[in-house]
A = this chain, B = another copy of it.
Amino acid sequence: MRDAYHEELEGLTDKLVEMTRLVRSAISRATTALLDSDLAIAESVISRDEEVNAIFAQIETTIFDLMARQQPVAVDLRLVITALRMGTDLERMGDLAVHVAKVTRLRHPDSAIPPQMRSTIVEMGQIAEALVTKAGSCVASRDVESALELPQDDDAMDRLHRRLFRMLLSKDWQHGVEAAIDVTLIGRYYERYADHAVRVAQDVVYLVTGSRPS
């Protein structure tokens, strides 16, 4: 039988996994809203970010209680430290999905994305989702090998990000400065989202092994 202490520690992991699910859903809906200029979906991304923030607040409270009442050591100690950091990264990922949704809302009923860039945005959305899904499984399973793959998986996002800039800077660009600014910021939001997913996975490596991936 597990005691209350270990249940609280496992509860932390469950809450982090739940955060990965929520921010995966958020970036998925934000991408759909962006591509379809769908205001209702964009608004849902913006309003439901509260749920992500609420879970992170619970995680912070649990960690503070745990450290005040118990003396976690070794892997338990690393769990409370990394849970705080992973929670911070996941909360930020929720914010970045909100940023994407806000660009959609700002340009609605127009689209922020010129037709020839749609496929690149679709791919960025898919990779963002794949990264956070994998990061979530790593948090749940503490699978170090899988977690170590994330930086390489993220290379695909960096390639798409560079492709976005090439398209913006090509002579064929006919959408003006405003659209270029929107696409620049949106590209940055997806790239940052992916970076935070990589950091979550790196914290899993630290959690299990006690040392940081290089």
A-side residues, CB < 8 A to B, are 63-64, 67-68, 71-74, 77, 81, 84-85, 88, 165, 168-169, 173, 177-178, 180-181, 184-185, 188
Contact B178 A169 (CB under 8 A): yes
How far is it, in angstroms, between the C-alpha of A140 and the C-alpha of B155 when the chains are bound?
A: 40
The 8 Å CB contact of A64, one of B81, B84, B169, is B81
Q: In the complex this chain forms, how many copies of it are found? A: 2
Which label, helix, strand, loop or mixed, suits the secondary structure of the A interface?
helix
The 8 Å CB contact of A177, one of B67, B71, B180, B188, is B180
**A44: min CB distance to chain B, Å:** 25
Contact A77 B67 (CB under 8 A): yes
How far is it, in angstroms, between the C-alpha of A73 and the C-alpha of B70 when the chains are bound?
A: 10
**A108: min CB distance to chain B, Å:** 18
